[in-house]
Amino acid sequence: MMMCGWITPRGSGAVGADGSGRRATSGRHGAAAATIGLGPGAEDEAAGQDARKYETTNPLVQKLLERWLASVADACGPSVVRLLDVGIGEGFALARLGRREATQVGIDFRFDKLHAARDRVAVGAVRGDAGMLPFPGDSFDLVLCTEVLEHLVRPADAVRELARVTRGRCVVSVPWEPWFRLGNAARGKNLGRFGNDPEHVGWYSPRRLARELEPWFGAVSVRRCLPWLIAVAEPVGHGNVGN
């Protein structure tokens, strides 16, 4: 069983051993991986950002979050041995999911959010980049990636890495646009950006999310949970995923 605490990957974690920000990968996704980093204008430190969302006093937002997390939990299925949460943030989503895997690892680009996640949930915390995950291929039975892809300028690089480390099932969730932005605008949030979050650089419909995942996974199913989308993806050779 993995102890709760920091894991130090070989090298810097987010940069290849040669300092180039790239490393070689092997197996069915053998292209070189490269760091993606934060989106344009995103702050290096943002602890408290997740708390403002998950601890909101708005009853409608809380109800939507509860329904979304219940749908994510259903998509994840029963407990497995090894779980990876890519973009764990401050750990609110993983904590509320109540998973009980023997090994739980969370990776995030921001140190301050990882500190918060480690204090909130029993997880091995790794500082790293979604485009260059510091794990061997087929390492995890369940891979979570919730509300991450919309923040990335090169989401396809992250999806390739998700597929590479997934041995069993990968669950990906993103805001469903334009409904997510319209919901923000309706409650007076981000009005100057037509409801769009300042850190969101990608926008997903059900079909676009499926197209993002299908080149790297053998089976993809997209579920609607307004104002989010939840995709269940399995590697090549694992058969069809339930709808």
- Per-residue model confidence as pLDDT tens digits over 89-103: 999 999 999 998 999
Average confidence (pLDDT) over 210-236: 97
Model confidence at 16: pLDDT above 50: no
- Structure token pair of residue 105: 């690892």
For all residues of the chain together, what is the average pLDDT? 84
Least Cα distance to 203 among 184, 225, 229 occurs for: 229
What CATH number matches the domain at 48-234, 3.40.50.150, 3.30.1490.390, 3.40.50.720, 1.10.10.60? 3.40.50.150
DSSP 28: G
pLDDT grade for 73, boundaries at 50, 70 and 90: very high
The pLDDT tens digits of the residues spanning 81-130 come to: 999 999 999 999 999 999 989 999 999 999 999 999 999 999 999 999 99
The residues spanned by each domain of the chain are 48-234
pLDDT grade for 236, boundaries at 50, 70 and 90: confident
Average confidence (pLDDT) over 8-21: 33
Give pLDDT, residue 181.
79
Model confidence at 241: pLDDT above 80: no
Q: 225 near 209, Cβ under 8 Å?
A: no
Q: 21 near 35, Cβ under 8 Å?
A: yes
Give pLDDT, residue 188.
67
Average confidence (pLDDT) over 190-217: 84
